[in-house]
Structure 1
Amino acid sequence: MGDVFDGQTLSQERAEMVMGHLMDGELSQMQAAALLAALRTRGETVDEIIGFARAMRGRAVKVPVRVSGPLLDTCGTGGTGVNTFNISTASLFVLASGGVKVAKHGNRAVTRKSGAADVLEALGAKLEATPERLARSVEEVGLAFIFARAHHPAMKFVAPIRADLRARTIFNSLGPLTNPAGANRQLLGVYDPALTEPLAHVLAGLGVERAMVVYGDGIDELTVCGETRVTELDEGGVIRSYTVHPAHVGLGFYDRLELAGGTPEENAVTIRALLNGEIHGAKRDVVLLNAGAALYLADKAADIEAGIALADDLLNSGAAAEKLEVYLEFTQRA
C-alpha cells in the first residue's frame, strides 16, 4: 500500500492482491479508508481497476448460467444525483422478450428514490433466490436479477468504510464490473463522461466481448434529453467513442423532467403502463433507445436504429408485458 500513498501506480497483479487484503478484512478500517482516499485523490488506472475487479469477482458467489452466445448485463454506477424512473429495469423485459439472455446485477437505491431491487419488489418479484435458481431464471425465462448484496459477502468489510467516507470511491465503479454470472456483453452507464473510455478498456481487460459504456447528459443511461457519450468495445477488441443524439435515431427530444421517477411503487406503475402501451413520449422513447442499444450489443440488431425498431415491435406486440408476468410468476414459485 505504500506505493499507493507515494503516488505510484500498481500492476494488475498487485492491485488484485491489495484489494484481496481489503475484501478479506485484513486491513484496519484506518488503513482501508486511507487506501480508498488515496486512490480517489490520485485516480485509479485501467490496470488497477482490472486488478481490483478480479479480486472482487474471485470472492463473489457465482451464478452458474449455462447459455451459448451472448449473456448481457445492463447496470449503471448510479451517483448522478438525477432521479429518473428505472429505465434499464423497464428495458429488461423488452430485451428478454426479444430473445436476449439477461443477467442484471444490481442493488437498492443509493442516490435516488428507487433502485432496480426496489422497483422489482414493488412489481411483485421475489428477489431472494439460490444461484442455481437464478441460473434457471436466465435459461428458462430469459432474465434474472442478481441481488448484489447476496453475491458479494466480502463487501461486509468495505461497507462501513464507504459509509464513513461519504464520498465516491472505486467501489462505485467496481459493482457493475463484477457480474456473478460472468456476463460477456455489457451496457454500462456511468456518472462521469470521463469514465467511458477507461471503463471500456477495463471491460476489454476483463474478457467482455462487446460493450457500451455510456453517459447520457447527466444520467447513467442513454438519454433522449441531450447527447449521449458512448464508448463502444467491439468483438475485435476495437474501442471507439462517439455521440448519439435522439433525433439521429428517429426519437424525440425531451426535457429531462419528463424522465423523472418517484417511489418504487410509483415507478412500478410507470413500468407496467409503459409495457402495456399506455405511455408514450419521453419515457417510452428512452426505453426504446436503451433497449435498442442493448439489442444491438446482443447481436439481435445490426445497429442501434434497427434495435429501436425491434424494441418498438416488442412493446407493440405485448411480448414485453407478457415477459414481465412470466418473470414474476417464476420468482414467486418455490
Structure 2
Amino acid sequence: MVSETVMKIIEGSQIDESEMEELPAYLCREEINDSERAAFLSAIHVRGENLNEISGFSKGLRKLASVGEYSGCTDIVGTGGDMKGTINVSTAASIVCSSLGIVMGKHGNRSITGKSGGADFMERAGYNFTRNENEIRADLASKNFVFLLASFYNDAFKKFSPVRKKLGHRTIFNLMGPLTNPLNPGRIVIGCTEPQIIDIFSNVIKMQNRKGIIVMGNDGMDEISFKGKSTLSFVDNNIKRKEIEASEITEGKIDEDEVTGENKNEIFVKTLAGLNGKNESAAKFIALNAAPCLILNGISRDMNEGYRMAYRSIKNGYAIEKLNEITGGKVKEAISSVF
C-alpha cells in the first residue's frame, strides 16, 4: 500500500480523502519500517499536499488517539516554528478563556522547534498530564479545561518522530498538530506563520464543518503579533478575512523584551507573570490572543471587546485562580519560587 501510494504521488496523482484517512494506521504498523514512512513523507512534501489529503490524514491520525471526541470544547493552538521566542501565549490565552466560562480542550506538546512549548509551561506549573478518558471528561465538565499532551494520547506522533528528525524538512505533520486534537473541538483558533497556510487551515476547517479563526502575525508570528498588523480568517459557513493592528486594540505598544525569552525558565516566568497580572506587556499579549476565542464562542462581539474582557480576567485575578485550580493548587508553589 505504501509503495503504491508513493508512486501515485510521484506521478502527480491526487490521493482521495478516504485513502489518506486509512494511511496513518497502516504507516504505524510494526512491519512498516522508517524508510517506507520517509518515502511517503518526502514524496508528498515534494509534490505538495492538497486539502482533501490534509483533511483525510488528520482524520486518520485522530482515529489512532486513545481519547474519544468532545466537540463541545474549543482549542487555541499554533503551528509553532516561528522562532520568535515568545511566551506560551496560546496556552495562557486558553487558561484566560477557561476562566471566562469557555470549555477549553487544549492540545499541545513540549518544545520541538521553539524554546518552550505549552506542555513545558504546564508541567513547570505543576500540571499532571496523566489522565484517563473519564478524568478528562470530568475536568472538562468541572474545570472547563484539560491539556492533552499530543505524544501521550497518540502513539503515531512517537512513531514518526525519528523519521521527521532525520528528514530535516517540513512534512505533512507540521500541519497536523492543530488538526489532530483527539477531542476534535467544534471551535478552534489556529495560529500559523505563512499566508498560504491560512488558506489551507481555513478550507480544511470549513470542510470538516467546524468553526474557527485562523490568525497570523504579518511579521511571521504564529499568533496575533504584538507589533504591527495581523491577519485573521473567520471560518463558518463562509470564510472572511480581516486585518488588525495590535496597538489599536491594546491602546499602546507591548514591550518585546517582556514577552520573549532566551530559555524555558525565562519564558515560564514571563508567561506566569502575565497570567498573574504582574507583567503588563505579557498580560496584554495574552489578552490579545484570547480575544478571537471569545468571539468564536459568542462571548464578545469583536476584538476590542474580547481583549477588554480577557484583560480584566487577568487583572482581577481570575486567570491565575483558574490555573491554580487546574494544577490542584500547585501553581502557588511555582509563584512563590519565582516572585
1:38-90 CA-to-partner distances (Å, cap 9, x unmatched) read 2111211011101101110111111464x8xx411011111112211111111
- Structure 2 partner of 1:214: 215
Equivalent residue runs for 1:83-232 within 5 Å: 83-208=85-210, 210-216=211-217, 217-232=219-234
1:256-303 CA-to-partner distances (Å, cap 9, x unmatched) read 45421243333332233222221113x222111111111111211111
1:279-334 CA-to-partner distances (Å, cap 9, x unmatched) read 113x22211111111111121111121111111221122111111111111789xx
Contact 1:127 1:331 in 2 (8 A): no
1:140-186 CA-to-partner distances (Å, cap 9, x unmatched) read 11111001111111333312211210121110111210111121110
| Per-residue deviation, 1:19 | 3.5
Aligned residues: 325
1:80-125 CA-to-partner distances (Å, cap 9, x unmatched) read 1221111111112211110010000011001122111111111121
Query: In 2, Cα distance between the equivalents of 1:43 and 1:243?
Result: 28
Residue range with higher mean Cα deviation, 144-153 or 243-252: 243-252
Kindly indicate whether residue 17 of structure 2 is the aligned counterpart of residue 6 of structure 1: no
- 1:55 maps to which of 54, 60, 67: 60
Runs of 4+ in 1 over 6 A off after TM superposition: none
Kindly indicate whether residue 277 of structure 2 is the aligned counterpart of residue 272 of structure 1: no
- 2:20 maps to which of 15, 18, 21: 15
- Structure 1 partner of 2:302: 303
Query: In 1, Cα distance between the equivalents of 2:32 and 2:21?
Result: 14
1:212-259 CA-to-partner distances (Å, cap 9, x unmatched) read 11111222111121211222102xx10122212113434433464542
- Structure 2 partner of 1:34: 39
Residue range with higher mean Cα deviation, 148-157 or 307-316: 148-157
Contact 1:120 1:268 in 2 (8 A): no
Contact 1:196 1:215 in 2 (8 A): yes
Equivalent residue runs for 1:314-329 within 5 Å: 314-329=313-328
Equivalent residue runs for 1:69-88 within 5 Å: 70-88=72-90
Query: In 1, Cα distance between the equivalents of 2:276 and 2:254?
Result: 22
- Structure 1 partner of 2:337: none
AA in 2 matched with 1:61: S
| Per-residue deviation, 1:133 | 1.2
- Structure 1 partner of 2:335: none
Residues 254 and 132 of structure 1: is their aligned pair in 2 closer, same or farther, counting only changes over 3 Å? same
Equivalent residue runs for 1:219-258 within 5 Å: 219-234=221-236, 237-254=237-254, 256-258=256-258
Structure 1 runs not aligned, ≥5 long: none
Query: In 2, Cα distance between the equivalents of 1:85 and 1:23?
Result: 34
TM-score, with normalisation over the residues of structure 2? Answer: 0.90
Higher relative CO (CA 8 A, sep ≥ 6), structure 1 or 2? 1
Query: In 2, Cα distance between the equivalents of 1:329 and 1:10?
Result: 46
TM-score, with normalisation over the residues of structure 1? Answer: 0.91
Measured on the aligned residues, the alpha-carbon RMSD in Å equals: 2.0
Structure 2 runs not aligned, ≥5 long: 332-339
Query: In 1, Cα distance between the equivalents of 2:277 and 2:160?
Result: 43
Residues 331 and 168 of structure 1: is their aligned pair in 2 closer, same or farther, counting only changes over 3 Å? farther
Q: Secondary structure of the equivalent of 1:158?
A: helix
